[in-house]
Structure 1
Amino acid sequence: MSLTEKTRQELTAVLVGKRRSLWSKFLFAGPAIIASIAYVDPGNYATNIQAGAGYGYKLLWVVLLANLIAMLFQGLSARLGIVTGKNLAELCRITFPFHIVIFMWFASELAAMATDLAEFLGGAIGISLLLNIPILQAMAMVGIITYLILTFDRFGFRPTELIIAFMVIIITLCFLTELLIVPVSWKSVFDNVFIPTVPDLDALTIVVGIIGATIMPHAIYLHSDLSIDRAIVRNEDHRKRLLKFTNIEVVLALGVAGFVNIAMVILAAGAFHSDFSYVADIESAYHLLTPLLGGAAAAVFLSSLITSGVSSSVVGTMAGQMIMQGFLEYKIPIWIRRLVTMIPAFVIVVFGVNATQALVLSQVVLSITLPVPMIALIFFVTRKSIMNNYAITPFVGIWAILGTGIVLGLNFVLLADVFGVPVPLYFV
């Protein structure tokens, strides 16, 4: 019996009440852990370094807000998959007119390419710094490593879940270590986590970038697919129990991702804000960490970056496959998908574009495309004709609409700034 099939049988045993141990609950961990990797990808490193170095702890509230919205929408995505047995992209194809489906697919593919740009470049930057090799060589290495990990998919869902979970643990331990090394003003941390402030228009770009880097379009699509058919659900009591365990997993997995993001901003604020507020790229941050905090801090930072880049690139490729198959009912070989999504990153490097700046701009692209899956998800989970008795309550629906409104509002302000339209800001 394969590991995946054994896991599926044990999950079913928990749902029917044959297994009641605390350890058995960990069997439900998987989909949210995979989705959480999207929330700690190298795009987060780029935006969080700029936020912490340039503005200290002042933008921590954005990280918390983005993470809370992410928890809500990832939970709704998993709920959609468990109740309907279909992923979000499939439901869009079945429900909406053809021209809307094509638009949604195009926007989603654009988001997937922007995602992979950040993930792929981040991993390559880390390997390039570690081995002191040209970034093009490092990019080729990342491509090979991610493809090899993707091949584990032929053994079912469980091996991939365990590999990604191991990488999440590495990233988390790295930033726990960093918090023990970097000087931190914990009073300022707690003050700014709960007090919203946007110091200037440059900070606004970073705010939108943080939103785009934290709430990921491809993760919303993917989570609905990962939650399907992991366990055999024989009746509605089993389904309710499965939804309960899924919600707990979402909160815990996204909570860990939120901690990592907050730790990134704290690291950049503690290390760079006082004397090196101009630091705006990953390479400069790495080179400055050694003289400021010691070689151990730099090594730990680099380890987390490489792990983040490789794991999130794997998840991004998985999401790209699912999005195309869901919207178009068409699937391409995984090696072609991996190759195609690598092209924008190679173009960026060949034409000499600053890699970290490209990462930040990619997160802005993500934030602009993000309302597409958010609106679609709200459309489905509020309808009893689709969700039956599992349609969300008006209270939850209001919070979901509010979260989408925040994203749309920030995008509107950002676009107005880009096109030269005056944007009044009220500083707190």
Structure 2
Amino acid sequence: MPKTAGMEGRVASARRTSVPRVAWLIGPALVAGVAYLDPGNVASNMTAGARFGYLLVWVVVLGNVMAWLIQYLSAKLGIVTGQSLPEALGRRIRNPWGRRAYWLQAELVAMATDIAEVIGGAVALNLLFGLPLVLGGVITGVVSLGLLILQSRHGARTFEVVVIGLIAIIAIGFTFGVFVAPPDGAAVLGGLVPRFEGSGSVLLAASILGATIMPHAIYAHSALARDRFPAPADVMGAEQTTDAALALARGIPTARLLRATRWDVSIAMIIAGTVNLCILLLAAANLAGVRGTDSLEGAYAALSAGIGPVVATLFAVGLLASGLASTSVGAYAGAEIMRGLLHVRVPLLARRLVTLIPALILLGIGVDPTVALVLSQVVLSFGIPFALIPLVALTARGDVLGPFRNRWGTTAAGVAASVFLIALNGVLLWLVISGT
């Protein structure tokens, strides 16, 4: 009894004196949110606006709403259990071959992410400085490795500060043009009505959702939250945790961490959603019907000719910052996937080289960068259910999250999002196979 009283007293003291302000707790969602601002998003949203105008505005908005719920659940899993999603699944998938199969699909998704991000950085360097695409890809990979080394040597907070700085550059680069050449307000409202126009719009809708709700962001956010708010080993291994135990472990009550996380995710998703919507609106208002604007290079040229070189240059700078920041987060997620599922640690340099090779091959053989970006996002869309379904299932279980498990409404929303995404992917597959 005295021990319990002492624990409660220390928790109360932590609440009064040691709990940092909410602002200090914000950061992991912003880093994970970089995944929602990667070059794949740029290509998908730019292509959607150029080809279909305001038709798919509703997809961007819906994707962002679903992303809020998904990223919050991911962070909650990491905070409450002290485990990332790959770690939690690695403990529960008993069959070694089943665990390897799950790792393989997750790894392919991470590689598809890396392809999009490296290609985006290479295209940006080509637009800004005229560098060959392969050289630009190498530079993007090297800089991202430097950011990962920064994270491993100086901790999560330093990494967050650098990435948030890149987010600011991304936001300015991609939203400036909308203020210079604003979209039609009535048309934007019309784009909020859900509808499609042919298989091409379905393909782009799946691409937008794959770029918005990214599987590797789900894996990464749980790990980022775990690393930012670590608990001692005896707490981290527990299947069921209590607010008091975790408060003592971290000096911060778990309920307060979760409240701060909701703010963190909200800020990150507002930024990501606004930027993605601005990219689509910029293309819809200024590039619709203009030939060649369904590629990043064509869009850059059209923006320069139609709105001015300042807007075009800021667009390219935003694309570069997007590639550099997002490829670092993608590599972090890939390393966590391997460690959590296979219990294998691979040196950063070796992993960076392996994941860089596919992107460099695609650039070297002359595959159209924008096509590669859009298709990579479709691959990501098919990887979403494998991350989302286990996430919703685990966070709904009392033996995993204890008193912090999902309420029934949260679980219902997660199930609805999963069903919608899986159904959209099924329609897309049918359209591709039938050649419609």
Same fold (TM over 0.5): yes
Q: Which residue of 1 aligns with 2:340?
A: 326
* Alpha-carbon distance between aligned partners in 1 of 2:206 and 2:254, rounded to the nearest angstrom: 37
1:54/1:278 contact within 8 Å kept: no
Alignment partner of 1:378 out of 392, 395, 399: 392
User: How far apart in 2 are the matches of 1:234 and 1:297?
Assistant: 48
What's the secondary structure of 2:366's corresponding residue?
Answer: coil
State which of 300, 306, 312 in structure 1 corresponds to 2:326: 312
Q: Distance in 2 between matches of 1:15 and 1:307?
A: 39
Amino acid at match of 1:316: G
* Match in the other structure for 2:253: 238
Matched residue, 2:51: 54
Letter in 2 for 1:245: A
| Alignment pair present for 1:205 and 2:203 | yes
Q: Which amino acid aligns with 2:281?
A: I
Q: Residues 140-192 of structure 1: CA distance to partner in whole angstroms, max 9, x if unpaired?
A: 11122111121112111111000001111111122332211123102211231
Given that residues 60 and 273 in structure 2 are in contact (C-alpha distance below 8 angstroms), is that contact kept between their aligned partners in structure 1? yes
Structure 1: 5+ residue stretches without partners: 1-11, 423-428
Matched residues in 2 for 1:199 and 1:278: separation?
20
Structure 1 residue 19: deviation in Å?
A: 6.4
Letter in 2 for 1:158: R
CA contact (8 A) 1:54 1:277 kept: no
Task: Report the counterpart of residue 355 of structure 1 in structure 2.
Answer: 369
- The equivalent of 1:339 in structure 2 is 353
Distance of 1:285 and 1:15 partners within structure 2: 53
1:346 Cα deviation after fit: 1.2
Question: How many angstroms apart in 1 are the aligned matches of 2:247 and 2:137?
Answer: 46
In structure 1, what residue type is equivalent to 2:36?
Y
Tell me the C-alpha RMSD between the 2 structures. Answer: 1.9
Distance 2:221 2:93 in 1: 21
Q: Could you tell me whether the CA contact under 8 Å between 1:15 and 1:241 is conserved in 2? A: no
Say if 2:141 and 2:352, in contact at 8 Å, map to a contact too.
yes
User: 2: CA distance between counterparts of 1:17 and 1:68?
Assistant: 34
| Contact 2:292–2:299 (Cα < 8 Å) also in 1 | no
The residue type paired with residue 345 of structure 1 is A
The amino acid across from 1:307 in the alignment is A
Go from structure 1 to structure 2 and tell me whether the alpha carbon gap of 1:179 and 1:235 turns closer, same or farther (over 3 Å shift).
same
Structure 1: distance between partners of 2:26 and 2:330: 19
Q: Residue 285 in 1 paired to residue 283 in 2? A: no
Q: For the Cα contact (< 8 Å) 1:13–1:19, is it kept in 2?
A: no
Shift of 1:85: 0.9
- Residues of 1 paired with 2:204 and 2:12: CA distance? 46
What percent identity do the matched residue pairs reach?
36
Aligned pairs for 1:239-318 (under 5 A) are: 239-273=254-288, 275-276=289-290, 279-318=293-332
Deviates more, 1:137-146 or 1:174-183: 174-183
Taking the aligned partners of 1:169 and 1:117, their CA distance within structure 2 comes to: 23
Q: Structure 2 matches for 1:123-202, cutoff 5 A?
A: 123-153=121-151, 154-193=153-192, 195-202=193-200
Structure 2 CA distance for aligned equivalents of residues 14 and 50 of structure 1: 54
TM-score of the two chains, using structure 1 as the length reference:
0.92
**C-alpha distance in 2 between matches for 1:62 and 1:268:** 15
Amino acid at match of 1:34: V
Stretch of structure 1 that moved more, 223-232 or 138-147: 223-232
- Which of 72, 76, 83 is residue 79 of structure 1 equivalent to? 76
Task: Using the TM superposition, give the Cα deviation of residue 234 of structure 1 relative to its aligned residue in structure 2, in angstroms.
Answer: 2.1
Aligned positions, number: 407
- Give runs of aligned pairs for residues 105-116 of structure 1, distance below 5 A: 105-116=103-114
1:279 to partner: Cα distance: 2.2
Q: Distance in 2 between matches of 1:31 and 1:141?
A: 26
Contact 2:78/2:225 (<8 A) preserved:
yes
Aligned to 2:66: 69
**Cα drift, residue 18 of structure 1:** 2.2
Output the CA distance in 1 between the equivalents of 2:291 and 2:46.
Answer: 10
SS at match of 1:279: coil
TM-score, normalised on structure 2? 0.90
1:407 paired with 2:421, answer yes
Contact 2:70 2:388 (C-alpha < 8 Å) held by counterparts: yes
